[in-house]
Every structure is written in structure tokens, then in C-alpha cells.
């Protein structure tokens, strides 16, 4: 499942299927397709999906509801047993939040002075880049890989040319000249060397761990402006190495900052691809994939909610926080439309396809 803002994250069916973990062979052979769908809300956590027309593979998806369907299957909405869509783990977090939570643990459990020392030691071990690796980074250290701006650029210095904006595919010099404020913002921060994928993030968000040897390499280091890296570390910005190194934004802040710059990296090195894919995987888990009720809330909380709505007096106070959650809003919406609410329909056996993908 996935949910996203189509204006900030324009994707084609091919990109969508790839980002949710569908096999490349099924996508290229059109064995799995994306279709418009109509949803019938039948009960709490219970939907029936009616597939409509397919979306051309090269067409960007607009705002709406879509489903992924397997061609040639008796039930095209069922997922073959050997296919495992990418689902985010419970409590998926950005790299920035993971780092902040770890620092917070030290602050909460150690005296102030000790916590400061431990945080500095941990940061030095996991986030600082050793000098021997810095010396091996072959691209210019003082030019942001995304914007091309040099280390000493400031908000008052917007004369520096971003890297080949006029000749980058899908980007024009007119677009660059129309957004001086975005250029100024991106040029404002100093340029430093940063990890593409910090080794500390291996094993987080339900993704496999990454060895120190895999991460401790100059191929995993690039120069970025500090403003750009802030978005990178927050997983608001990623690079899709399998779409010709297209720069992808996932929030309004990232889209605004990067609006005037090339949509793809210029002269990317193939050895960067592994680390870009790792970063994009975590970003998709956080900001693209999701929407499954059990992942969002957990089985225990849903069971408690079922018990709550079984109490006929539970909705007497609609100001209760539970009714402000998505689960609560759905339940109240069913009541207000006069539908019969059956809390058991989520496990019905009528053969209908429940809980289909919503984008």
C-alpha cells in the first residue's frame, strides 16, 4: 500500500510498482498493472474494490485511488505467494529522528556532562568521516553534488551557476531564472562531505543491516550543501539510481528548495548506486509506502478499538481523542451515513477483496 501527494511526488505506474517492491520482470511484461478503482466502504476497515481502466505505464498518476492487479490470476486482486510487497515496519523513522532519539536516550539516562560526552563519542564513531576517506573522495569537495554551488556561496551571492541546469534532461534555464529565492536558499549553507547512507542506519526500519566494510568507503561519501543535507538526513530528498539518478523530493520543503535545480545528477558514478538505493528504500518506507491499518496502529490497538466500538455508549463523547484518529473518524463516518457497522466484517468470508491499495 502507498499514499502520497501526486503534486510533490509525481510517479508513473512503473515507478510506483518498483517503489513498492514489485519484481522488475512482472512490471516489464505488464503482468502487474495499475488501474483506477472505485471503492465501496462497506464497514469498519472493510472496503470492496471495483477495478476500472488501466493507467498507461508512462503516465504520471494524478490524485485518486488506484489498485495494483496481477494479470492472468483467477483473482487479479490477490497477491501471489512468492510476491512480497514492501511494507514499512511499525515506528518507521527518518535518519534524523533515529539520531535524535538515540541522543535523547543518553540525555534521559545519564548525567548532563556524561550524556554530552557519550553523544559526541557516538557521533564521532558513526557520523564523522575519517580524514583517510575524505582524501579518497574523487569529486570536488567544495561543490554540492545536487546544486553545484561552491562552499563559499552565500544568500547574497546568487551569481554562481548551478551545474549545467540548462542542459540537464527535463530542466530549462528559464526554470532556473524564475526561482531566485530557491537558489539563494540552497546556496546559503556551507558545503561539506557527508555520508550518502550512514552506517548507523543499517538494520533500522526493518531493513537488513549493512556491514562496516560496505559503508566505510569513499563511494558512500558526497559533498552536499548543509541545507540540502538537512533534507537528505530527514529522508525528504532521495536519488533514484534506477531512473537515471533522478532527484526525488518527498515533502513541500524539499520540492521548494530543489525546484530550480537539475532533476537528475550530472555524471553520476555507478559505484554510488548501492548507497542511493539504500537511502531511497528507507525514504520510501517512511514517506511513500504505508497505509495498512495493522502496520499503522498495531494489532493490539485495533483489537482494543473493536472492543470500544462494541460498547453502545462509546460514542457519547465525540471529543474523546480516539474519535480524532483515522480509525475513529472512519467509524463515525459510517455511523453518520447510516450504514450498519459490523466490527467483524474485516474477517468476512464472502470472497470480496478488502482493504485494497489506496494512493
**Could you tell me the pTM of the whole model?**
0.79
User: What DSSP string describes 14-67?
Assistant: HHHHHHTT--HHHHHTTSEEEEEEEEEEEETTEEEEEEEEEPPTTSPP-SS-EE
Question: Between 268 and 320, where is the model more confident?
Answer: 268
Summarize pLDDT for 17-56 with one digit per residue, the tens: 999 999 988 898 889 999 999 998 888 778 888 999 999 9
Whether 189 shows a pLDDT value over 50: the answer reads yes
Residues 6+ positions from 336 with CB-CB distance below 8 Å: none
DSSP 279-335: HHHHHHHHHTB---HHHHH-HHHHHHHHHHHTSTTGGG-TTSGGGGSHHHHHHHHHH
pLDDT at 2 over 80: yes
Percent of residues, the chain, with pLDDT higher than 90: 49
> Distance between CA atoms of 237 and 227, rounded to whole angstroms?
11
146-163 residue pLDDT tens: 998 886 544 444 333 333
Most confident of 87-91, 172-176, 214-218: 214-218
Going by C-alpha positions, the residue among 93, 94, 54, 86 that lies closest to residue 70 is 54
Q: What per-residue confidence (pLDDT) applies to 177?
A: 40
In this prediction, what percent of the chain has a pLDDT beyond 70? Answer: 83
- Flag whether pLDDT at 226 surpasses 90: yes
How does pLDDT run across 201-216, given as a tens digit for each residue?
Answer: 999 998 988 998 899 9
Looking at the chain, the number of H-run helices and the number of E-run strands are 14, 7
pLDDT of residue 157: 42
Average pLDDT, stretch 306-320? 78
Amino acid at each position: 500500500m502507498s499514499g502520497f501527494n501526486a503534486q510533490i511526488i509525481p510517479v508513473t505506474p512503473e515507478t510506483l510498482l518498483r517503489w513498492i517492491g514489485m519484481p522488475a520482470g512482472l512490471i516489464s511484461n505488464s503482468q502487474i498493472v495499475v488501474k483506477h478503482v472505485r471503492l465501496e466502504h462497506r464497514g469498519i476497515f472493510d472496503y470492496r474494490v471495483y477495478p476500472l481502466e488501466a493507467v498507461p505505464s508512462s503516465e504520471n498518476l494524478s490524485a485518486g485511488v488506484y489498485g495494483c492487479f496481477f494479470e492472468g490470476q483467477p483473482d487479479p486482486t490477490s497477491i501471489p505467494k512468492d510476491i512480497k510487497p514492501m511494507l514499512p515496519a511499525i515506528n518507521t523513522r527518518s535518519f534524523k529522528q533515529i539520531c535524535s532519539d538515540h541522543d535523547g536516550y543518553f540525555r534521559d539516562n545519564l548525567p548532563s556532562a556524561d550524556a554530552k560526552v557519550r553523544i559526541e563519542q557516538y557521533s564521532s564513531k558513526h557520523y564523522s568521516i575519517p580524514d583517510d576517506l575524505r582524501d579518497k573522495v574523487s569529486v570536488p569537495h567544495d561543490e554540492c553534488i545536487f546544486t553545484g554551488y561552491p562552499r563559499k556561496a552565500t544568500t547574497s551571492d546568487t551569481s554562481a551557476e548551478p551545474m549545467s541546469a540548462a542542459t540537464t534532461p527535463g530542466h530549462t534555464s528559464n526554470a532556473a531564472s524564475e526561482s531566485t529565492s530557491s537558489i539563494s536558499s540552497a546556496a546559503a549553507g556551507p558545503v561539506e562531505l557527508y555520508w550518502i547512507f550512514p552506517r548507523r542506519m543499517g538494520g533500522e526500519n526493518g531493513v537488513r543491516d549493512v556491514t562496516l566494510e560496505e559503508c566505510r568507503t569513499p563511494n558512500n561519501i558526497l559533498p552536499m550543501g548543509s541545507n540540502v543535507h538537512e533534507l537528505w538526513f530527514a529522508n525528504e530528498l532521495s536519488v533514484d539510481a534506477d531512473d537515471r539518478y533522478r532527484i526525488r523530493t518527498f515533502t513541500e520543503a524539499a520540492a521548494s528548495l530543489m525546484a530550480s535545480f537539475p532533476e537528475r545528477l550530472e555524471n553520476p558514478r555507478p559505484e554510488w548506486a548501492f548507497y542511493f538505493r539504500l537511502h531511497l528504500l528507507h525514504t520510501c518506507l517512511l514517506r511513500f509506502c504505508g497505509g495498512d491499518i495493522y502496520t499503522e496502529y498495531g494489532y493490539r490497538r485495533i483489537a482494543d478499538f473493536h472492543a470500544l466500538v462494541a460498547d453502545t455508549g462509546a460514542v457519547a463523547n465525540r471529543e474523546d481523542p480516539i474519535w480524532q484518529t483515522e480509525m475513529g473518524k472512519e467509524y463515525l463516518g459510517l455511523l453518520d451515513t447510516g450504514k450498519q457497522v459490523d466490527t467483524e466484517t474485516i474477517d468476512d468470508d464472502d470472497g470480496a477483496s478488502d482493504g485494497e491499495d489506496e494512493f
